């Protein structure tokens, strides 16, 4: 994988002392935040409608999706990210060329899988409506305590190796991606750092209780994610999976999953996390998904192991 190589660990210090004071009332108010959030929600619902049309065989939608760019994972993170950005603007899909996966439940249990996908969207819509006041309050807090956008988008690997933009509440400083390789230069497993200096004070609290994950419900509505499934791999993690284990990237990622409830941030070894996901896929059924959902609630409320 190409990228910035840091020979010696570097200590990055970021001043968070002015996070709560930089926005004046004249620059931003609740009405402006409401308009921004409403525009975002409208765009997400439009994309949700498009995903429904694609499943129902809409000719217009299919014509806009005829062009697919398939690439080898060895292309490297930087080039893949740039390619994904270009293709996104021209409404093309980018797919990683991956080994076939026999563990996929959508192939082995297609009818049960269809039930799961229907329940996914219905449940995601219900949860979004139920938690909309909470999500709006979080949007206001983010907008008034640190500079930058309310939402954070990042390329992740989805079903069949298709890249998609995951949606989260922003918990880091602006342009945090530019410091990623400096912060994670010593990481050999998943790129997660408990004392990541890029995380804002509010962001650290949100991450503790996984509140930053709530916008992923829009990804579920759009068909890019499930409520339960393997971890949605970021490009810098996905491209480091070796050999035949890359077949795990064919799976539909979930907002929560076996890794999150069993180990969360305590298991960071790439091979161990991958095997955990493959085991989930091999033994998948609706009951196992329900158990994971029920286990997620106390895990999130405890705040243990999240950062």
Does any domain span residue 44? no
Q: What's the confidence (pLDDT) of residue 151?
A: 94
| Residue 200 belongs to a domain | yes
246 located within any domain:
yes
Q: What is the pLDDT of residue 196?
A: 74
Q: Tally the domains of the chain.
A: 1
Output 186-191 pairs: Cβ under 8 A, ≥24 positions apart. Answer: 186/9, 187/268, 189/268, 189/269, 189/270, 189/273, 190/237, 190/268, 190/269, 190/270, 190/273, 191/234, 191/236, 191/237
Check: CB of residue 284 under 8 Å from CB of residue 254.
no
pLDDT on residue 62: 43
Quick one: pLDDT at residue 123? 97
Asked, for residue 266, whether it belongs to a domain, the answer is: yes
Give the domain range for residue 155: 105-302
Q: What is the pTM of this model?
A: 0.82
pLDDT of the chain along its 307 residues, tens only? 333 333 334 445 555 554 444 443 334 566 677 777 777 776 776 666 666 655 544 444 444 456 889 999 989 888 999 999 999 998 899 999 999 988 899 999 999 999 999 999 999 999 999 999 999 999 999 999 988 899 999 999 999 999 999 999 999 888 777 766 666 555 555 556 667 788 899 999 999 999 999 999 999 999 999 999 998 988 988 888 888 889 999 999 999 999 888 866 666 678 888 888 999 999 999 999 999 999 999 988 887 766 5
Task: Evaluate whether residue 307 is within a structural domain.
Answer: no
- Report if residue 91 sits inside a domain: no
26 within some domain: no
In a domain, 113, yes or no: yes
- Tell me the two tokens of residue 180: 């990623």
CA–CA separation, 60 and 265 (whole Å) = 43
The helix or strand, by DSSP H or E, that contains position 134, with its residue range, turns out to be helix 110-145
């Amino acid at each position: 994988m190409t990228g910035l190589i840091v020979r010696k660990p570097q200590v990055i210090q970021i001043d968070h002392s002015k996070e709560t004071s930089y926005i004046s009332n004249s620059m931003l108010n609740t009405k402006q935040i409401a308009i921004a959030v409403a525009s975002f929600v409208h765009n997400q619902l439009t994309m949700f409608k498009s995903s429904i049309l694609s499943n129902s065989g809409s000719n217009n939608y299919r014509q806009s999706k005829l062009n697919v760019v398939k690439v080898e994972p060895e292309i490297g993170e930087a080039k893949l990210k740039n390619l994904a950005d270009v293709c996104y603007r021209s409404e093309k899909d980018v797919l990683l060329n991956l080994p076939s996966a026999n563990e996929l439940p959508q192939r082995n249990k297609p009818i049960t899988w269809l039930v799961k996908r229907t329940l996914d969207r219905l449940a995601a819509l219900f949860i979004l409506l139920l938690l909309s006041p909470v999500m709006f309050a979080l949007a206001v807090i983010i907008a008034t305590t640190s500079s930058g956008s309310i939402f954070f988008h990042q390329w992740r690997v989805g079903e069949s190796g298709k890249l998609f933009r995951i949606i989260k509440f922003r918990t880091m400083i602006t342009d945090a991606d530019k410091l990623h390789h400096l912060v994670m230069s010593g990481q050999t497993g998943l790129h997660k750092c408990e004392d990541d200096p890029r995380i804002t004070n509010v962001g650290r609290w949100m991450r503790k209780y996984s509140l930053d994950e709530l916008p992923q419900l829009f990804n579920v509505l759009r068909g890019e994610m499930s409520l339960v499934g393997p971890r949605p791999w970021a490009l810098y993690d996905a491209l480091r999976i070796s050999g035949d284990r890359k077949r795990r990237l064919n799976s539909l990622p979930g907002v929560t999953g076996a890794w999150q409830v069993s180990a969360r941030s305590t298991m960071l070894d790439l091979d161990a996390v991958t095997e955990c996901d493959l085991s989930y896929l091999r033994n998948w059924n609706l009951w196992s998904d329900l158990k994971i959902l029920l286990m997620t609630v106390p895990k999130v409320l405890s705040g243990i192991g999240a950062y």
